[in-house]
Amino acid sequence: MVQYCFLNGKVLPIGEAKVSLSDIGLLRGYGIYDGMTAFKGRPFRFMDHWSRFVSGAHILNLNIPITEEKAEKIIMELLEKNGLMDRANIRMILTGGETLGGIEYDFENPTFYILTEKWESLPPDYYQNGAKLVTYTHKRELAEYKTTNYIRATVLQNFRKEEKAVEILYVYDGEVLECATSNVFLVKDKILITPVENILKGITRKVVLELAEGKYKIEERSVREEELKTTDEIFITSSFKDIVPIVGVDDFGFAGGEVGPVTKDLMAKFKAYIAVPE
């Protein structure tokens, strides 16, 4: 089956899509990215993702050559053409386009493309019995924005697999920040705690905070690394993973190695929420 993408104004077969070898996204890693999920042919919380994409483009002074309405329409067209009418992953990438002198770019001629692919779930055991995180000292550059710089995350994937962990948890200067591709939550005395600075504020993170509001006290604040050993529960969130319960960090566990009640409750609420997406 031919798979289609969107590149610089056209829907075309992926095999025909070409990006210049002098694209600044390749030569200098200069670009932004967003990943979202889709249910039944529609992108989930698209306005939130688009708003984050726009903020990233603004901070890097990149020109988005398409409107929000057109982008959403193209995504739905790609999902249909690629036969992805159940659950799917969507990726939007924007770079400055071809380089000028190897380091500059023409604001009026960016490179913009959209890819769709089948969603693949993590192992069911992770959701039923919990998974492990492994910590690493790192703080992302421009952490509040979703740039294409995933160098550290990519380099660490073999380490993550060796440690049998679902994710890398970044810590820096004694603070818990975020995972390589997820946000992290702690639960202490039924209080929901999540880092608020030097992180990318994920859309699934936002949905979880909405679902928790009114039932649980919420603290968005700095989280000290030592809190990992005294918390009652931990879970992570991301568009491609949903909510994943965590029962161990590095070489220590907590909560008796079982998924906690608050995590279970929020997982159930999130499952019900995405069953009838916007």
pLDDT band at residue 2 under the 50/70/90 scheme: confident
Q: What percent of the chain has pLDDT above 90?
A: 96
- Identify each DSSP E strand in the chain by its residue range: 4-7, 10-13, 31-39, 42-43, 87-95, 99-100, 104-105, 111-118, 131-137, 167-172, 175-179, 183-188, 191-194, 217-220, 223-224, 233-238, 242-249, 252-253
Q: Given a cut of 70, is residue 277 above it in pLDDT?
A: no
Query: φ and ψ at 171, to 5 degrees?
Result: -125, 150
112-143 tens-digit pLDDT? 999 999 999 999 999 999 999 999 999 999 99
Q: Given a cut of 90, is residue 25 above it in pLDDT?
A: yes
Q: Are strands 252-253 and 242-249 parallel, antiparallel or unpaired?
A: antiparallel
Partnered with residue 29 across adjacent β-strands are none
Q: What is the mean pLDDT of residues 225-240?
A: 96
Return the pLDDT at 66.
Answer: 97
The amino acid present at 154, given as its one-letter code, is: T
The count of C-alpha atoms lying within 13 angstroms of the C-alpha of 234, restricted to the half-sphere facing its C-beta, is: 32
Instruction: Say how far residue 60 (Cα) sits from the centre of its chain.
Output: 19
Instruction: Say how far residue 70 (Cα) sits from the centre of its chain.
Output: 22
Rounded Cα gap, residues 39 and 106, in angstroms: 36
Rounded Cα gap, residues 1 and 246, in angstroms: 38
120 three-class SS: coil
Return the pLDDT at 10.
Answer: 97
CB 210 within 8 Å of CB 232 = no
Q: What percent of the chain has pLDDT above 70?
A: 99
For every residue of 46-94, DSSP letters joined together read HHHHHHHHHHHHHHTT----S-HHHHHHHHHHHHHHTT--SEEEEEEEE
Other beta carbons less than 10 A from residue 129's beta carbon: 13
Return the pLDDT at 227.
Answer: 97
Hey, what domains does the chain have and what are their CATH numbers?
4-118 (3.30.470.10), 124-275 (3.20.10.10)
Copy the structure tokens of residue 48.
């939130």
pLDDT, averaged across the chain: 96
Distances (CA, A) of 61 to 46, 50, 53, 145, 190: 22, 16, 12, 13, 42
Query: φ and ψ at 274, to 5 degrees?
Result: -80, -10
Return the pLDDT at 276.
Answer: 62
Return the pLDDT at 278.
Answer: 52
Q: What is the mean pLDDT of residues 198-208?
A: 98
135-194 tens-digit pLDDT? 999 999 999 999 999 999 999 999 999 999 999 999 999 999 999 999 999 999 999 999
